[in-house]
Amino acid sequence: MSKFENITAITRWFFVVLLLGALTGCGINNIPTYDEAVNAAWSQVQNQYKRRADLVPNLVETVKGFARQEKEVLTEVIEARAKATSMQLPRDILSDPQAFQQFQQNQDALSSALARLMVVVERYPDLKSNQNFLALQSQLEGTENRIAVARRDYIQAVQQYNTELRTIPGRWWAALLYSDLKIKENFTQPESVQEAPAVQFN
């Protein structure tokens, strides 16, 4: 190989490395990176909802021991948990608006049923001082906080991912290399939270 051919080969490699560096620097890897972040955040959301669902049977049994007459509220909690845990999640749930909305509705229904159960508990001083109930209540409160954090992290990850797919140059990279990746669904506020509480003065 002549000296000239050697310089030409080195120059070609230099330009290939430069081109690869430029592609990496201009966001070619952003979409799969953000997609993985969304998937990780979604796993955390599911973990926290499962943690809550696992607490419900013990909570219901403890309340039942003190407040059997609150059968309607206890049944509502049991049924809401059954709905939330029995839903078969499709693989593409994050890009399927109907499935995602159904998942959120089921989880919101369980949140609402648990909130009503906690209101009912206020009528039973013995239950409120029971150590088993206090431990479960504390775990449930901690889990609700974890759910809020997991949902917040998921919302932020989806926002970053969706923005990348909708803006340039991400939009170009998506069309060229990642056409199988779709916009992800995000959480919305449940209607019960959106409604202003009624204030009554007697």
Those residues whose C-beta lies under 8 Å from the C-beta of residue 36, and which sit 6 or more positions away, are none
Specify the pLDDT at position 55: 95
Return the closest-CA partner of residue 86 out of 61, 103, 109.
Answer: 103
> Which parts of the chain sit beneath pLDDT 50?
20, 193-202
Rounded CA-CA distance 109/124 in Å is 24
Length of the chain: 202
Positive or negative, the CA dihedral 137, 143, 145, 147 is: negative
Those residues whose C-beta lies under 8 Å from the C-beta of residue 86, and which sit 6 or more positions away, are none
104 alpha-carbon distance from chain centroid: 9
Class of residue 146 by CB neighbours under 10 A (exposed 0-12, middle 13-18, buried 19+): middle
Specify the pLDDT at position 202: 35
Specify the pLDDT at position 69: 84
Per-residue pLDDT reduced to its tens digit, 7-33? 676 666 655 555 545 555 567 899 999
pTM of the model: 0.80
Per-residue pLDDT reduced to its tens digit, 30-66? 999 999 999 999 999 999 999 999 999 999 999 998 9
Specify the pLDDT at position 6: 60
